[in-house]
């Protein structure tokens, strides 16, 4: 009959087997002269079984040899000026002593260990700063920034080293920003100079920031909104004029970094002076406008489609007629104005399109009862309410209101899209 082993006993047995296995692995490593690995395995075995026979004695022996190896290697690395690696070995030695102490085995470090470790750290810190300084002198600013930051993260700097680090990092940040500026990478340059200003606000950094912004700013002229040729019949009256009025106001709002918009009034005057105000402007003509306004790019916007509609299919309503019969009129529940605009951005230098914007839909609408009838309206016997359905003045006012709403929304959308243009290098 099989006997059941309780769970606590099973866990205990598994733990003992694991400790024994670690002990065997430690003995193998010790036999092969791998002192540090053997010490780690003895420590692991004692963690699993604090009373494991022979483990504590063996750890004391191999731990001492592992410490001697680490300290010898640290000295050799220091002689070869590999101070960072030497610091790692000193740290490994101290860590081994701490881990052995945790399983009640005392390993002895040399009396001058702390002094040797601190001296190595000081040399490693100086060397890290020397390496960063050398990269700075060689104008390898990005690498220098990385080295300075690594030195600060890795070591505790004294006052003199901190002053040296502060000066070096600031120079590297400003050097990187200026280097990026000279390469025409204005946005990365601006980000770098902001880092420098956050690190230390200096006059030099502010001047460089202003230079980057001035050199990297792109001037854009926005032409008045025009219409596609096939929209003339459906374009609501006043939509173009309303849109352009609102657009001129919207473009005077604060523009984002690296974008300057030519005054809309000046642009409109130049378009008129060149005789381009009664046509859909082509890329070459847009480039001429931009050149005369001192712009690098020209935005050419137009309304691609626009119309006022009465929504879905109407409802038939029978009304009496003067001859005693009936006629059907078609009624609708709402009225909508839908417009689609597009724009393209023309590069003045070569008169080529640099950016295109597909259709953007703008809509306004209202619930209103209206009706249509294809026959003789004088023969219809309409109620007072039904007369309102055919009230042209009322519908025209509603159309004007929707036109103003769409024009305002269209201008806002277009201005926002222009502000979001990323034309700077």
Find out whether 332 and 311 touch, Cβ atoms under 8 Å.
Answer: yes
Tell me what percent of the residues of the chain surpass a pLDDT of 90. 81
Confidence of residue 112 (pLDDT cuts 50, 70, 90): very high
User: CA of 97: how far to CAs of 38, 61, 102, 269, 416, in Å?
Assistant: 14, 13, 9, 84, 65
CA distance 17 to 27: 15
Lowest mean pLDDT among 70-79, 257-266, 330-339, 415-424: 415-424
CA nearest to 114, candidates 176, 71, 165, 66 = 71
Structure confidence by residue, pLDDT tens digits, 147-186? 999 999 999 899 999 999 999 999 999 999 999 999 999 9
Q: Give which of 229, 370, 385 is closest to 302, Cα–Cα.
A: 229
Sign (positive or negative) of CA dihedral 375, 376, 379, 385: positive
Q: Which residues pair with 346 in a beta bridge?
A: 298, 353
Mean pLDDT for 286-306 is 95
Alpha-helix runs per DSSP H in 296-391: 384-389
Q: How confident is the model at residue 425 (pLDDT cuts 50, 70, 90)?
A: low
Q: What is the mean pLDDT of residues 50-56?
A: 91
pLDDT in tens, 293-302: 999 999 999 9
Distance CA 419, CA 407 (A): 18
Cβ neighbourhood burial of 317 (10 Å; 0-12, 13-18, 19+): middle
pLDDT in tens, 38-48: 999 999 999 99
For residue 125, report the phi and psi dihedrals to the nearest 5 degrees: -65, -45
Residue 312 or 367, more confident: 367
Residue 5 pLDDT exceeds 80: no
Per residue in 210-221, pLDDT (tens digit) is 999 999 999 999
pLDDT attached to residue 4:
38
Point out the least confidently predicted range of 324-328, 365-369, 419-423: 419-423
Record the pTM: 0.68
- For 307-334, the pLDDT digits (tens) are 998 877 789 999 999 999 999 999 998 8
CA angle 86, 91, 93 (to 5 degrees): 100
Size of the chain in residues: 425
Each residue's pLDDT tens digit, 400-418: 999 999 999 999 999 999 8
Residue 15 has a pLDDT of 43
At 189-238, the pLDDT tens digits run 999 999 999 999 999 999 999 999 999 999 999 999 999 888 888 899 99
CA–CA separation, 33 vs 62, rounded Å? 9
What angle (nearest 5°) sits at the alpha carbon of residue 165, between those of residues 162 and 168?
150
Give the tens place of pLDDT for each residue, 122-150.
999 999 999 999 999 999 999 999 999 99
Sign of the torsion angle spanned by Cα atoms 372, 373, 378, 380: negative
| Pair type for strands 226-227 and 259-261 | unpaired
Name 149's Cβ contacts closer than 8 Å, sequence gap at least 6. 169
Helix-helix angle 159-182:141-154, to 10 degrees? 150
- pLDDT for 2 beyond 50: no
Give me the pLDDT at residue 159, please: 93
Per-residue model confidence (pLDDT) at position 12? 40
Residue 76 has a pLDDT of 96
> Residue 136 CB: number of other CB atoms within 10 A?
21
Is 179 strand, coil or helix?
A: helix
Cα separation, 175 vs 203, in Å, equals 15
CA distance 370 to 207: 65
Which tens digit of pLDDT belongs to each residue from 9-18?
333 444 444 8
Give the model's pLDDT for residue 420: 87
């Amino acid at each position: 009959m099989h006997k059941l082993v309780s769970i606590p006993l099973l866990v205990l047995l598994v733990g003992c087997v694991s400790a024994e296995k670690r002990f065997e692995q430690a003995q193998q490593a010790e036999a092969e002269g791998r002192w540090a690995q053997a010490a780690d395995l003895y420590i692991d075995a004692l963690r699993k079984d604090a009373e494991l026979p022979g483990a504590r004695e063996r750890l004391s022996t191999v731990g001492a040899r592992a410490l001697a190896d680490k300290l010898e290697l640290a000295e050799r690395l220091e002689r070869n000026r590999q101070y960072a690696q030497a610091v790692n070995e000193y740290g490994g030695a101290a860590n081994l002593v701490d881990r052995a102490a945790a399983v009640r085995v005392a390993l002895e470090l040399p009396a001058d260990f702390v002094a040797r470790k601190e001296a190595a750290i000081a040399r490693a810190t100086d060397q890290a700063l020397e390496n960063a300084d050398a990269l700075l002198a060689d104008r390898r600013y990005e690498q220098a920034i990385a080295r300075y930051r690594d030195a600060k993260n890795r070591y505790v700097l004294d006052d003199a080293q901190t002053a040296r680090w502060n000066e070096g990092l600031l120079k590297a940040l400003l050097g990187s920003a200026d280097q990026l500026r000279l390469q025409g990478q204005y946005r990365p340059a601006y980000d770098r100079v902001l880092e420098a200003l956050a690190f230390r606000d200096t006059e030099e950094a502010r001047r460089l920031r202003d230079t980057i912004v001035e050199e990297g700013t792109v001037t854009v002229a926005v032409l008045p909104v025009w219409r596609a040729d096939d929209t003339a019949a459906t374009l609501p009256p006043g939509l173009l004029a309303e849109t352009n009025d609102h657009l001129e106001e919207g473009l005077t709002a604060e523009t984002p970094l690296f974008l300057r918009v030519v005054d809309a009034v000046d642009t409109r005057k130049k378009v008129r002076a060149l005789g381009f105000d009664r046509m859909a402007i082509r890329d070459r003509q847009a480039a001429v406008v931009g050149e005369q306004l001192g712009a690098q790019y020209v935005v050419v916007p137009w309304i691609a489609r626009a119309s006022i509609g009465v929504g879905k299919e109407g409802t038939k309503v029978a009304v009496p007629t003067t001859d005693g019969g009936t006629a059907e009129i078609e009624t609708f529940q709402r009225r909508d104005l839908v417009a689609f605009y597009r724009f393209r951005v023309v590069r003045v230098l070569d008169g080529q399109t640099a950016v295109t914007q597909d259709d953007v839909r703008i809509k306004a609408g209202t619930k209103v009862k209206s009706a249509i009838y294809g026959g003789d309206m004088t023969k219809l016997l309409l109620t007072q309410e039904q007369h309102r359905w055919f009230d042209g003045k009322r519908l025209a006012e509603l159309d004007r209101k929707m036109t103003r709403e769409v024009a305002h929304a269209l201008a806002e959308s277009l201005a926002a899209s222009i502000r979001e243009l990323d034309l700077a290098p």
